[in-house]
Structure 1
Amino acid sequence: MKLSFIGAGNLAWHLAMAFENAAHLIREVYSRDEKNARDLISMLYDAQLQPDLNFAESESELFVLAIPDDAMEEVAAQLVLPENALVVHTSGSKSLEKLRRLMDIYSDVPVRTGVFYPLQTFSKGTRVLNFEEIPLCIEASDPESEAQLVALGQELSKIVYLVNSHERMVLHLAAVVACNFTNYLFGVAKDLVDSENLEFDLLKPLIEETVQKALDARHPALVQTGPARRGDLNTLSLHMDYLASRPELLNLYRTLSDGIRQRS
């Protein structure tokens, strides 16, 4: 299949190469940041820089919107596609209906719409991820497009699900909690040890064991440990006294500890 990418950020960097590794051809890459587009093109077989959002003469069959959620309408308003092209967004939170409505409003020709959402965290320039183990959430506006996207997804991943827009939003929310919030807490932990000239490496075995236990458990709450889980009020008080000069961290510590205690 021939594809074009609109957007050349973190997700596009990985997804475009995954498509090419599955023997699909990326024909064009557009980004409002031309350097990002050129950097991605340099990693691909024969992709060309697309100077604007007019793809009317493109030979691509699938157009992938790998763009920030808040840019979707701005892009849709300028996007020109071939008739009956299939355009998909890769958002966890935007509904399929949102994309369909935008295409109805702005496209001068009929196009098909869908969602191709990889449930993973991506950073440009890191190792190329193994897409076989990345869940792909598929949704489409018609059965033909759905079948096409499912077949395409199965060429990349062993984990392909039909997921509607509401279910995808809930998955995205859970992913934010499990990934973004957790990573934020890792950063807080590093700041704490750095403030006392301690090594963050001392925490890494603990972090690895904690994550692995949560993955192995029937429910992560079953392997919860720590002073809040034990009801150790003396230790909780000691920690909160230490954080008294940092009210934002004190509030965070208290909120999370209260949540653990209420669940225990």
Structure 2
Amino acid sequence: MEISFIGAGNLAWHLAPALENAGHHINEVYSRQLQHSRQLVSNLYDARTHSELNFADSPSRLFILAVSDQALEEVCSRLVLPENAIVVHTSGGQSLQSLERWMAIYSDVPVQTGVFYALQTFTKGQPFLAFEEIPLCIEASDPATEEALVQLGQDISDIVYLITSDERRTLHIGAVLACNFTNHLLALAHDLTTQEGLEFDLLRPIIEETFRKGLAAPNPADVQTGPARRGDLTTIDTHLAYLSNQPRVSNVYQVLTESIQRYYKK
């Protein structure tokens, strides 16, 4: 398939090469920051940078909006596409209906719409991820577009699902809890230990074992440990006393402690 990318950030950095390696052709890459599109194009075979959002003469059939949720409507309002092109967003939180509405308002030609959501965390500049193991969540405005996007997904991943916008929102919330919040807790633990002159690596074995057990268990709740799970109020009070001069971390500690306590009183 002939493809153009609008956006050259974290997702595009990994997705564009994966599509090329599966035999698809990336024609153009647009980014508000030209340097970003140049960096991505340098990893592709013969793609070129595109300096504007007018793609009326593009040979591409598929246009992938790999931009932030906040930028989606603005990009759609300026986007000019060939007639009957397919345009997809890659957002976990935005509905297909939002994209359909924006294109109905802003596009002068008929286009098909869809969602091509990769359920993974991506970081630009990191080694390319193996898309075979990344779940792809597909949604489309019509059966033909759905079939085209499913085939595209199956070309790069072994895990392709048809997911509604409501289901995708639930998955996205789950990903924020399991991924973004967990990583933030690791960062807080890092800051806490290093400010006392302790090596964060001392926590690495317990972190690794926690994830191993949680992922191996039918329900991570089955392997929950710690003072909140045990109802050890003495230890909790000792921890909070230590954190009394760090209100931000103390608040996080209290919220999660109360959540764990409530969870096991169900």
TM-score (norm 1): 0.99
* Structure 2 Cα separation of the partners of residues 234 and 78 of structure 1: 59
For 2:241, the equivalent position in structure 1 comes to: 241
Pairwise CA distance, 1:68: 0.6
For 1:116, the equivalent position in structure 2 comes to: 116
Q: Which aligned pairs between 1:90-169 and structure 2 lie closer than 5 A? A: 90-169=90-169
Aligned residue pair count: 264
**Quick one: percent identity of the two aligned structures?**
61
Give the secondary-structure state (helix, strand or coil) at the position aligned to 2:29: strand
Q: Which aligned pairs between 1:51-62 and structure 2 lie closer than 5 A? A: 51-62=51-62
The C-alpha deviation readout for 1:9-51, integer Å capped at 9, x for no partner, is 0000000011011011100000001000000000000001111
For 2:230, the equivalent position in structure 1 comes to: 230
* Structure 2 Cα separation of the partners of residues 51 and 103 of structure 1: 21
For 1:44, the equivalent position in structure 2 comes to: 44
For 2:65, the equivalent position in structure 1 comes to: 65
Pairwise CA distance, 1:259: 1.2
Coordinate RMSD, CA, aligned: 0.7
* Structure 2 Cα separation of the partners of residues 151 and 80 of structure 1: 25
Give the secondary-structure state (helix, strand or coil) at the position aligned to 1:60: coil
Pairwise CA distance, 1:205: 1.2
TM-score (norm 2): 0.98
Give the gaps of 5 or more residues in structure 2: none
* Structure 2 Cα separation of the partners of residues 21 and 204 of structure 1: 35
Structure 1 runs of 4+ aligned residues shifted over 4 Å read none
Pairwise CA distance, 1:60: 0.5
Give the secondary-structure state (helix, strand or coil) at the position aligned to 2:115: strand
Q: Which amino acid aligns with 1:55?
A: F
Pairwise CA distance, 1:249: 1.4
* Structure 2 Cα separation of the partners of residues 98 and 203 of structure 1: 43
* Structure 1 Cα separation of the partners of residues 260 and 96 of structure 2: 36
Give the gaps of 5 or more residues in structure 1: none
For 1:256, the equivalent position in structure 2 comes to: 256
The C-alpha deviation readout for 1:124-178, integer Å capped at 9, x for no partner, is 0001101000000000000000011001101111110000101101110110011
Pairwise CA distance, 1:233: 1.3
For 1:182, the equivalent position in structure 2 comes to: 182
For 1:16, the equivalent position in structure 2 comes to: 16
Tell me whether 1:78 sits opposite 2:78 in the alignment: yes
Pairwise CA distance, 1:252: 1.2
The C-alpha deviation readout for 1:102-131, integer Å capped at 9, x for no partner, is 111111110000000000000000011010
For 2:209, the equivalent position in structure 1 comes to: 209
Q: Which amino acid aligns with 2:9?
A: G
Q: Which amino acid aligns with 1:149?
A: L
Give the secondary-structure state (helix, strand or coil) at the position aligned to 2:44: coil
**Higher alpha-carbon deviation: 201-210 or 136-145:** 201-210
Pairwise CA distance, 1:261: 1.6
